[in-house]
Amino acid sequence: MLSHVIDVLADPIDGSPLSGVDQFSRLVSESGHSYDVARQGYVTLAAGKGLRYSGDDSDMIAARETFLSRGHFAPFVEAISHTVADVLDDAEVPEGAEPVIVEIGAGTGYYLSHVLDSIEGARGVGIDVSTPAAKLLSKCHPRVGAVVADAWARLPIQDSSVDAITVVFAPRNASEFARVLKPQGEVVVMTPNVGHLSELREPLGIIDVEKGKIDRMIAQASGHLVPVGEPETVEFVMNLDQASIATQIGMSPSARHIHPDILAERIATLPSSMAVTARATVTRFTKA
Ligand SMILES: C[S@@+](CC[C@H](N)C(=O)[O-])C[C@H]1O[C@@H](n2cnc3c(N)ncnc32)[C@H](O)[C@@H]1O
């Protein structure tokens, strides 16, 4: 619910604090701007002409929800939850402090809800530019506030208010992350690595992860964020049937590049069940 995180939200126009009025049916800033809370519980916080992107559409979000609910990415969610717990331990966040975790491009809230389950009292802000995602995000956990916002714009978050930011296969805005992090706060980024879904690339005609992606990400963040320790790679093998493969591709950018009929034909040529590698890297960053 937005009321749990209202103290960290900010007016996207001028950064002033927001408060809930009319039983949290609107958020109003100190400078007088008003933002309606949708009946599903999320709020759109965008300045000026609004959002430039619409993010993942409802089919992609539904595919993501189905795939993740089958537990195929469980080792990824474990890795994110453990890493956020380590970040809070290293920052010596005291018990009962109700730390704030912001997830950028939070999708269905799969990762954020698991993180909040694993950290007592933690509160979460799930940010995504997709309205279908925000509808699920707002229901994913009682201590999550769901916000539709563009990760490339000024984040609707107060300066120095966030204990940890998580980004899983989603956009990274290093300068904004540095602005909203507390002094001991960190960003936890999960990026796909070379070898991810490798067994599906050729038969389905999907593009591979580029080499050097992690080094490029670190270089792009420089001046704002610096890595903490060495990036850690999480790799495991999933046993996927054709339906799960269809949802995995349906939730990825490939869904936009391959015609659904062609994709269905290619998937039908695969074995009824096959071993597919999942491979991603977790990198921690602190303020430069
Ligand atoms: C690959 S999905 C990952 C979702 C989620 N982190 C997960 O792994 O289940 C990328 C997400 O980022 C969102 N997204 C893309 N561009 C964005 C932007 N500029 N601002 C905020 N969210 C964005 C998409 O709508 C989508 O939900």
Q: Tell me the CB-side half-sphere exposure of residue 21, using CA atoms within 13 A.
A: 11
The SS3 call for residue 243 is helix
Helix (H) or strand (E) holding 165: strand 162-168
Task: Show the tokens assigned to 193.
Answer: 């690595």
pLDDT digits (tens, 9 = 90+) for 177-209: 999 999 999 999 999 999 999 999 999 998 888
Mutate to test the pocket of ligand 1, among 60, 77, 129 (most ligand atoms within 8 A of CB): 129
Distance 56 CA to ligand 1 centre (A): 7
Residue 151 Cα: closest atom of ligand 1: 20
Mutate to test the pocket of ligand 1, among 152, 169, 234 (most ligand atoms within 8 A of CB): 169
Q: Are 226 and 284 in contact (CB under 8 A)?
A: no
Task: Find the CATH number of the domain harbouring 215.
Answer: 3.40.50.150
pLDDT digits (tens, 9 = 90+) for 70-79: 999 999 999 9
201: number of Cβ within 10 Å: 15
Task: Show the tokens assigned to 32.
Answer: 């007088």
Mutate to test the pocket of ligand 1, among 103, 130, 191 (most ligand atoms within 8 A of CB): 130
Q: Are 157 and 164 in contact (CB under 8 A)?
A: no
Indicate the number of domains in the chain: 1
pLDDT digits (tens, 9 = 90+) for 37-95: 999 999 999 997 778 889 999 999 999 999 999 999 999 999 999 999 999 999 999 98
What lies within 8 Å, CB to CB, of 264 at 6+ separation is 246
17: number of Cβ within 10 Å: 16
Q: Are 190 and 237 in contact (CB under 8 A)?
A: no
Residue nearest to atom 12 of ligand 1 (CA): 105
Q: Are 195 and 279 in contact (CB under 8 A)?
A: yes
Lining ligand 1 with CB less than 6 A are 53, 55-56, 64, 105-108, 110-111, 127-130, 133, 150-152, 168-171
Give the domain range for residue 66.
2-287
Task: Show the tokens assigned to 126.
Answer: 């799930």
